[in-house]
Amino acid sequence: MKELGFVSSPRPFNEIMHLYAKSLQVDKVLEVLAGMKKSGVSPDNDSYRICISSFGLNYDVDGMERMLREMESQPHIVMDWCTYAVVADFYDREFLVDKAANALEKARVILQKNKNKNKNKNKNKNDDDDGGGGGDDDDGGGGDRSHNLINSDYENVIKSLVKLGEFGEAMRFATEWESLGNWCTVGDISIPCTIIEEYIKNGSESSLRAAYRMIWEWESKGRAGIDRLSLLLCNGLLKAGDLFDAYSCFQGKGAIVYGPLALQRSFFQYLEEDCGSFFPSSGGRSLCCCAVSSLRTAGGKTFFELARNTRSQLRYWYTPPPPPPPKQQQQQKKKKQ
């Protein structure tokens, strides 16, 4: 390192540690960290985060906590929310709920401070006539925006961000993860699944809309797993009482998927349990055996009419296909042709 002129920078050490961490070689990671200190180079946030992730991936909570305490005690280190987000998810995986909540709260506080700092920075920049404020985009203390994350860190950070309601920041990390070429890796689908599932679990209108758009984007890229995610989204919409949008998850032109059996079964089960009184049985057959387009309530309303009446307005993501023209119009068109 000395001969190459890298002795004053932790970056080359971090790159080596990164490689060892991905292959779960904790001992090698610690050897590089010790060599860094011996060379007179102070570990930075990335150095400690890589060590923390190495212990976490090996289910060594004690080692992870020991490294976190060392990081927090360093006078030159400004703790960043990203590290706490990683730690929070490792705690969550080990069912250490209180510790996970504590780490998540620390991440939230730092994130909020950075937001306020950036707001003030932008305000000063706007007030500055010459516009020469400069400054780098510091997102998380300790140079977070140049983070050296392994793939598992991206997953942990995104999970924590979505739990905190920081959807914009979660999307930024997902985009960064994708830009590293991971989206093209057929076997690695953890990040898109993670963020979409967390959006659905959140259950709010905006998060369900975001989940729909992400599933649609994923399907347009030819990715696998759409049926399972669409089933989760359908169930999330049913819990929110969005009957019409739940139906649009698997039926009609422009929908996400076209009729996976598990999704249809889930939807029909909901109708039978919660809306059964609206639909009289037909010849002893259950609702699951009937075609939805032909179902009518006792008052003569079709399914689509019922769904429209139960909603104040149509949702943003689905528009039902227009009804086919009457047979007379079709015949007239044929005659003209």
Tokens found for residue 130: 């010459």
Q: Which residue has the higher pLDDT, 140 or 172?
A: 172
**284-330 confidence digits (pLDDT tens):** 444 444 444 444 445 555 544 554 444 433 344 444 445 555 555 55
Q: Are 234 and 266 in contact (CB under 8 A)?
A: yes
- What pLDDT score was predicted for residue 203? 79
Q: What local confidence, expressed as pLDDT, does residue 28 receive?
A: 94
DSSP characters for 152-172? HHHHHHHHHHHHTT-HHHHHH
CA dist 271 and 281 (Å) reads 12
Domain chopping of the chain, boundaries? 1-118+140-153, 189-322
Q: Output the pLDDT for position 52.
A: 94
The span from the CA of 242 to the CA of 236, in Å, is 9
**Which of 74-88, 155-169, 290-304 is most confident?**
74-88
This prediction has a pTM of 0.58
Q: Which residues contact 33 (CB under 8 A, 6 or more apart)?
A: 13, 17, 43, 47, 51
Of 37-46, 230-239, 303-312, least confident by mean pLDDT is 303-312
pLDDT of residue 231: 75
SS3 content of the chain, % helix, strand, coil (to 5): 65, 0, 35
Q: Would you tell me which CATH number, out of the four given (1.10.3470, 3.40.50, 2.30.30, 1.25.40), belongs to the domain 1-118+140-153? A: 1.25.40
Q: Are 65 and 42 spatial neighbours (Cβ–Cβ below 8 Å)?
A: no
Q: What was the pLDDT predicted at 236?
A: 81
Q: Which of 157, 189, 195 is nearest to 56 (CA)?
A: 157
Instruction: Give the C-alpha separation, 280 to 277, whole Å.
Output: 7
pLDDT higher than threshold 80 for residue 23:
yes
Residues 231, 103: Cα–Cα separation, whole Å: 32
CA–CA gap between residue 87 and residue 109 (Å, rounded): 15
Q: What is the mean pLDDT of the chain?
A: 71
**Cross-strand bridge partners of residue 282:** 285
Query: For residues 248 and 76, which has the higher predicted lDDT (pLDDT)?
Result: 76
231, 263 contact by CB (below 8 A)? yes
* Residue count of the chain: 337
Token readout for 200 is 């659905």
By CB neighbour count within 10 A (0-12 exposed, 13-18 middle, 19+ buried), where does 225 fall?
middle
Q: Are 85 and 56 in contact (CB under 8 A)?
A: no
Question: Cα–Cα distance between 98 and 91 in angstroms, integer?
Answer: 9
Asked whether residue 335 carries a pLDDT value surpassing 70, the answer given is no
96-114 pLDDT tens trace: 999 999 999 999 899 888 8
Mean pLDDT confidence for 1-8: 56
> Which range has highest mean pLDDT (79-83, 120-124, 288-292)?
79-83
Least confident of 40-44, 62-66, 318-322: 318-322
Residue range 174-231, pLDDT digits in tens: 778 777 766 555 444 566 677 778 788 877 888 888 888 877 777 776 666 666 777 7
Taking the alpha carbons at both ends of the chain, their separation in whole angstroms is: 80
Check if the beta carbon of residue 162 is closer than 8 Å to that of residue 170: yes
